[in-house]
Amino acid sequence: MTAAMQRSFSSELHDLGIPTVDVKTLATRIKEQDATINSLREQLKNSESECSRLRSINKILRDRLALVVTLQDQLRGTLKAYDEISERVQEHLRLTQQLQSLVDITTGNVQTAFQTIPTIADLDKMVEGVTEATPVVRTLTGSPRRRNTGVTAIPPPTIDSVISLLSIFPLFAEFPREVLVRLAQSSYEMRRSPGQNIITKGEMGAEIFFLEEGQVNVMATLSDGQDIPLATLTAKAFFGELGVLFGNPRTASVQTKTDCVLVAVTKQKIDEVLQTYPELQLKLRAFADDRVKWCDTRSYKAGFGGEFITNIARKDVSKLPIFSDASDEFIEQLGKRLTPEIFPAAATIIAKGDDSDCIFFIVRGSVQVLDANSNEIHAEMSAGSFFGELGVVLNVQRTASIKAKEECYLLKLTKASLTEVQDLYPAMKQKIQDAVDERYALYKTRTQITNKAPEQFHMEVGHQQLTKLSIFQDIDDNIVSELALLMSQKSWKGGEYIIKCGDQANSMFFLASGEVDVIGEFGEQIDSAKGPDAWFGEVGLLQDVPRTASVRARTDCSTFLLRKEDFMASLRKHPSIASRIEETARERLQAHLMRSILA
């Protein structure tokens, strides 16, 4: 290299900011850089290969997961089919046993036959069981012979379990055990699938039904003749007693909501059993006369379930937290004192400043809880809810107004009626007073902490929202009441984000009114919800993770918020509910992770 070329080269290197070195050193450095570049190329190639391998593994995992889901669906289908086949086998076995009892008539065993001849009502049920292909179990008087079919029948309920079920009817609860045993032996069991009629409007009342398992709907007939569900009765309820006592046609229908197991006792069997007990016959007549007088003094308008209004009333009254330990007889007395009220849409049911003199139960329709100053909707309550309890038990004036959102069918329990029944049961009166004292202590404590009295209807809404969660079912009512006092209400305009994906979670929300959309982490809508029976935000509240989705108000909304610090403080005070809450959190978090994998 000539001196001129070397100077030119050095000048160019200098212009590029590279220190001038001899050619040999420069060549060495270039070689090292080439080696580094080649090494990086090789690493990049390996990374691409590894990325491709991970993509393949991810695809395999997703395929395997889809296969597992498919197999689970197939397994569920198989189990369902097995259950249906088993049910039909049991059905045919029971029918065979019943028919064998009838065959005894023609085989000369007249005495046994006459003991086991079904009544007209029994035969109607047997025919219905055959035509509807539903299993019917009969426990007839005596012990009819059974054919050896080679199939093991489902054992009938024990006498003690049937007696326990029959005893929820207050009249039967007063009968001596030997009478209850005979009634249990003369009862029969029914199994029904969803959507089947237990009682049909217009038919003659012949049986009292006791719901052992499942749920049934009391139906209401609209002006156009259509039947709609009015109220749901759950296990350990009874119905149909008025039709039996009065011998009148049924005034409404009762239909199964879920798979149900019922025990029925016919009027004929009741009369037969009581033939040798004249004192119980007098008690039965007195009970029936009392019901006649009660019905004559109350006009139950169309739409309240006719004769089954008493069953609905008992169910509604038993929901009140202060009556959680009340006896069936106490609940019966309260239920008899409920009166029906119908409010047209937009009518004021309760006004701010009114004296708290009654509790309302929503049988049909929905109501709106309005802000005391702005009339803004703070909550909606629908059929099955109640309101006004706190004002009555705490003896405070109404702090907000409640209006009918649509035509509403309500049952009203007055404070005077509550006092009247409590005076009949001194022990229960003291229990209720203890519960009221505990509730009032919580109320005063919250007032002192916030320097403001809690809004009574907010407390009722919060309490009922919490009890809808499975984690709070069977939890001491004081714990739920304490959490309800800690909740706060907030309103949102349509389009506002209530929570955002990725934000730090510090609260749980209950949607009291309005509609929301649930937005996934990639901006896609994954769900929607409508108040007042929705809640969200518990995953981030219960697990130390950010929000896993966004929630945006589709319409104007009202929420009740439970702060994380209040929630965790309650868990520390009541560790018995911590395990339930952790289980729910794991299920919700697993659902979120599953969505992420399949996305």
* Distance separating alpha carbons of residues 281 and 289, to the nearest angstrom: 12
Span 146-173, average pLDDT: 70
Which DSSP letter does residue 187 get? -
Over the stretch 548-566, which tens digit does the pLDDT of each residue have? 889 999 999 999 888 888 8
Q: At 14, is the pLDDT very low, low, confident or very high (cuts 50, 70, 90)?
A: low
Q: Which residue has the tokens 């290969």?
A: 49
Span 227-242, average pLDDT: 87
Sheet containing 237-239: give its strands across.
136-138, 188-192, 260-266, 207-213, 237-239
Over the stretch 177-230, which tens digit does the pLDDT of each residue have? 999 999 999 999 999 999 999 999 888 888 999 999 999 998 887 777 777 888
Does residue 499 sit in the same domain as residue 376?
no
Does residue 417 sit in the same domain as residue 435?
yes
Span 447-473, average pLDDT: 76
Q: At 308, is the pLDDT very low, low, confident or very high (cuts 50, 70, 90)?
A: confident
Which range, 95-99, 106-110, 352-356, 440-444, has the best average confidence (pLDDT)? 352-356
* Distance separating alpha carbons of residues 83 and 77, to the nearest angstrom: 10
Percent of the chain with pLDDT over 90: 22
Which DSSP letter does residue 496 get? -
Percent of the chain with pLDDT over 70: 76
Does residue 471 sit in the same domain as residue 592?
yes
Asked if the structure places residue 47 within a domain, the reply is: no
Q: pLDDT value at position 444?
A: 80
Asked if the structure places residue 441 within a domain, the reply is: yes
State how many domains the chain has.
3
Does residue 471 sit in the same domain as residue 583?
yes
Kindly report the backbone phi and psi dihedral angles of residue 170, in degrees, each rounded to the nearest multiple of 5, phi listed first: -55, -35
Asked if the structure places residue 495 within a domain, the reply is: yes
Question: Domain boundary at 303, 325, 355, which?
Answer: 303
Asked if the structure places residue 413 within a domain, the reply is: yes
Which range, 63-67, 356-360, 428-432, has the best average confidence (pLDDT)? 356-360
Q: 115 to each of 142, 267, 471, how far by Cα in Å?
A: 7, 17, 50
Which range, 80-84, 137-141, 383-387, has the best average confidence (pLDDT)? 383-387
* Distance separating alpha carbons of residues 412 and 358, to the nearest angstrom: 7
Does residue 296 sit in the same domain as residue 318?
no
Asked if the structure places residue 543 within a domain, the reply is: yes
Does residue 489 sit in the same domain as residue 443?
no
Residue 221 sits in a domain whose CATH number is 2.60.120.10
Domain that holds residue 591: 459-598
Instruction: Kindly give the interhelix angle for 456-467 and 477-486, rounded to the nearest 10 degrees.
Output: 130
The mean of the pLDDT values for the chain is: 78
Which range, 123-137, 425-439, 460-474, 494-508, has the best average confidence (pLDDT)? 494-508
Sheet containing 497-499: give its strands across.
497-499, 550-553, 515-519, 525-530
Residue 146 has pLDDT above 50, yes or no: no
Asked if the structure places residue 190 within a domain, the reply is: yes
Does residue 319 sit in the same domain as residue 416?
yes
Q: At 38, is the pLDDT very low, low, confident or very high (cuts 50, 70, 90)?
A: confident
Does residue 326 sit in the same domain as residue 430?
yes
Question: Domain boundary at 271, 303, 335, which?
Answer: 303
Residues with Cβ within 8 Å of residue 16, at least 6 apart in sequence:
none
Asked if the structure places residue 57 within a domain, the reply is: no
Q: What tokens appear for 457 in the block?
A: 């209807």
Residue 583 has pLDDT above 80, yes or no: no
Question: Domain boundary at 430, 449, 468, which?
Answer: 449
Q: At 545, is the pLDDT very low, low, confident or very high (cuts 50, 70, 90)?
A: confident
Higher pLDDT, 504 or 221: 504
Over the stretch 371-420, which tens digit does the pLDDT of each residue have? 877 778 888 888 888 888 888 888 888 888 999 999 888 889 999 999 99
Does residue 260 sit in the same domain as residue 321?
no
Does residue 533 sit in the same domain as residue 421?
no
Q: pLDDT value at position 22?
A: 62
Higher pLDDT, 389 or 24: 389
Asked if the structure places residue 227 within a domain, the reply is: yes
Of 559, 560, 567, the closest CA to residue 585 belongs to 567
Does residue 285 sit in the same domain as residue 215?
yes
Of 201, 220, 251, 512, the closest CA to residue 364 belongs to 220
Q: At 580, is the pLDDT very low, low, confident or very high (cuts 50, 70, 90)?
A: low
Does residue 488 sit in the same domain as residue 573?
yes
CA 504 to chain centre: 30
Q: What pTM value is reported for the model? A: 0.62
